[in-house]
Amino acid sequence: MENKVNHLLFRFGNRIFKSYVLVILLLAIVQVVFAGSEKKPIYKNAEAPIEKRIDDLLKRMTIEEKVFQLNQIVLGENDNINNVDADGKIIDPKIGSLLYVGTDPVLRNAMQRKAVEETRLGIPILFGYDVIHGFNTIYPISLAQACSWNPDLVQQACSVAAKEARSSGVDWTFSPMVDVARDGRWGRVSEGYGEDTYTNSVFAVASVKGYQGDDLSNQNNIASCLKHYVGYSASEGGKDYVSTDISRQSLWDTYLPPFEAGINAGAVTVMSAFNTLNGIPASCNQYTLTDILIDKWKFDGFVVSDWNAVVQLIAQGVAADEKEATRMAFQAGVDLDMADELYQKYLPELIESGVVSEKQIDKSVRRILRVKFKLGLFDNPYVSEKNGEGRIVLPEVTSVIEKLTEESMVLLKNENHILPLKEPSTIALIGPMAKDDVNMMGSWAAHGNGNDVVNIYEGLTKEFSDSRILYAKGCNFDRNNTSKYAAAIETAKQADIVVLCLGEKWRWSGENGSRSTLSLPEIQENLLAEIKKVGKPIVLLLSNGRPLDLSRMESECDAIVEMWQPGILGGRAVAGILSGRVNPSGKLAITFPYSTGQIPIYYNKRPSSRPNQGKYQDIQDAPLYEFGYGLSYTTFEYGTLKTSNSKVKKGEEIIIEVPVTNTGNRESAETVHWFISDPVCSIARPQKELKYFEKQIIKAGETKVFRFKVDLEKDFGFVDAEGNKFLESGEYYVMVNSQRVKIEVLD
Ligand code: GLC
Closest CA to 328 of 381, 272, 376, 246: 272
- Positive or negative: CA dihedral 278, 282, 285, 291: positive
Residue-level length of the chain = 747
Q: What is the pLDDT of residues 383-394, one digit of tens each?
A: 998 765 556 667
Selection from 701, 633, 669 nearest residue 417 by Cα: 633
Q: Output the residue whose Cα is nearest ligand 1's atom 3.
A: 306
Q: What is the pLDDT of residue 88?
A: 76
Q: Say how many Å lie between the CA of residue 161 and the centre of ligand 1.
A: 18
Between 76 and 43, the higher pLDDT residue: 43
More confident residue, 7 or 468: 468
* Residue of 536, 531, 528, 502 whose CA lies nearest to 431: 502
Within 10 Å of residue 611's Cβ, how many Cβ atoms?
Answer: 8
Is there a contact between 430 and 531 (Cβ–Cβ < 8 Å)? yes
Phi, psi angles (nearest 5°) of residue 484: -95, 0
594 burial type by CB count under 10 A (0-12 exposed, 13-18 middle, 19+ buried): buried
CA-based nearest residue to 675, from 693, 691, 686, 687:
691
545 Cα–ligand 1 center, Å: 17
How many angstroms separate the CA atoms of 478 and 456, rounded? 19
Task: State the distance from the centre of ligand 1 to the C-alpha of 52, rounded, in angstroms.
Answer: 33
The minimum-distance atom of ligand 1 relative to the CA of 174 is 10
Q: Is the pLDDT of residue 339 over 60?
A: yes
Residue type, 404: L
Strand partners, 668: 698
Strand, helix or coil for residue 670: strand
User: Region 683-705: what's the mean pLDDT?
Assistant: 98
Report the run of H or E that residue 377 belongs to, with start and end: none
| pLDDT (0 to 100) of residue 611 | 86
pLDDT, tens digit, 9 for 90 and up, residues 87-112: 777 899 999 999 999 988 999 999 99
Q: Work out the percent of the chain whose per-residue pLDDT is above 70.
A: 93
Index of the ligand 1 atom closest to the CA of residue 191: 9
Contact 570, 562 (CB under 8 A): no
Q: How confident is the model at residue 431 (pLDDT cuts 50, 70, 90)?
A: very high
pLDDT of residue 84: 66
> How are beta strands 426-430 and 468-472 bridged, if at all?
parallel
Nearest residue (CA) to ligand 1, atom 12: 130
Q: Mind listing the pLDDT tens digit for each residue in 714-747?
A: 999 999 999 999 999 999 999 999 999 999 999 8
User: From its phi and psi, is residue 737 left (phi > 0), alpha (psi between -120 and 50) or beta?
Assistant: left
- Give me ligand 1 centre to Cα 306, in Å: 6
**What phi and psi values does residue 500 have, to the nearest 5 degrees?**
-100, 125
Residue 61 predicted with pLDDT over 90? yes
Estimate the share of the chain in helix, then strand, then coil, as percent rounded to the nearest 5. Answer: 35, 20, 45
pLDDT tens per residue across span 361-371? 999 999 999 99
Angle at 42 between CA 37 and CA 48, to 5 degrees: 110
674 Cα to the center of ligand 1, angstroms: 34
Which residue among 174, 190, 338 is best mutated to probe the pocket of ligand 1, counting the most ligand atoms within 8 A of its Cβ? 174
Q: Burial letters for 300-337: b for 16+ Cβ neighbours within 10 Å, e otherwise?
A: ebbbbbbbbbbbbbeebebbeebbbbbbbbbbbbbbbb
- pLDDT for residue 15 is more than 70: no
pLDDT at residue number 623: 98
- pLDDT tier at 39, thresholds 50, 70, 90: confident
Q: What one-letter code names the amino acid at 647?
A: K
Q: What is the 3-state secondary structure (H, E, C) of 383-443?
A: CCCCCCCCCCCCHHHHHHHHHHHHHHCEEEEEHHHCCCCCCCCEEEEECCCCCCCCHHHCC
High-pLDDT (> 90) share of the chain, %? 88
Mind listing the pLDDT tens digit for each residue in 191-247?
Answer: 999 999 999 999 999 999 999 999 999 999 999 999 999 999 999 999 999 999 999
Residues with Cβ within 8 Å of residue 599, at least 6 apart in sequence:
182, 183, 184, 185, 238, 518, 593
Residues with CB under 6 A from ligand 1: 130, 174, 227, 306-307, 511
pLDDT at 12 over 60: no
Say which DSSP state 592 is in: B
- Ligand 1 atom closest to 273 (CA): 8
> What value, to the nearest 5°, has the Cα angle with vertex 705 and ends 699 and 711?
140
Letter for the amino acid at 725? Answer: K
Contact 589, 196 (CB under 8 A): yes
- Tens-digit pLDDT profile for residues 472-514: 999 999 999 999 999 999 999 999 999 999 999 999 999 999 9
Contact residues for 17 (Cβ-Cβ < 8 A; gap 6+): none
Q: How confident is the model at residue 35 (pLDDT cuts 50, 70, 90)?
A: very low
Number of CB atoms found within 10 A of residue 374's CB: 17
Active site residues: 306
Q: Whose CA is nearest to atom 7 of ligand 1?
A: 307
Atom in ligand 1 nearest the alpha carbon of residue 274:
8
pLDDT at 37 (0 to 100): 47
- pLDDT tens, position by position, 620-640: 999 999 999 999 999 999 999
Model pLDDT for residues 595-609, shown as the tens digit of each residue = 999 999 999 999 999
Q: What is the spatial distance between Cα 128 and Cα 112, in angstroms, rounded to a whole number?
A: 13
Q: Which residues neighbour 235 within 8 Å (Cβ) at sequence distance 6 or greater?
A: 183, 186, 241, 242, 243, 244, 275, 514
Q: pLDDT band at residue 283, thresholds of 50, 70 and 90?
A: very high
Has residue 159 got a pLDDT over 50?
yes
Query: Is the peptide bond preceding residue 672 cis, with omega within 30 degrees of 0?
Result: no
Q: Which of 190, 275, 283, 511 to mutate to test the pocket of ligand 1 (most atoms within 8 A of CB)?
A: 511
* Residue among 307, 336, 509, 514 whose CB has most ligand 1 atoms within 8 A, to mutate: 307
Return mean pLDDT, the chain. Answer: 94
Contacts of 386 (CB under 8 A, 6+ apart): none
Tens-place pLDDT, residues 414-429: 999 999 999 889 999 9
Q: Cβ distance 322 to 314 under 8 Å? A: yes
Is the pLDDT assigned to residue 36 strictly greater than 90? no
Q: How far apart are the CA of 74 and the centre of ligand 1, in A?
A: 12
Instruction: Check if the beta carbon of residue 416 is closer than 8 Å to that of residue 558.
Output: yes
Mean pLDDT value across residues 106-129: 97
Report whether 46 contacts 70 (CB < 8 A).
Answer: no
Please name the amino acid found at residue 90. Answer: I
Output Rg (C-alpha) for the chain, integer angstroms: 30
3-state secondary structure of 429: strand
| Closest ligand 1 atom, residue 177 Cα | 9
Closest among 238, 231, 207 to 289, alpha carbons compared: 231
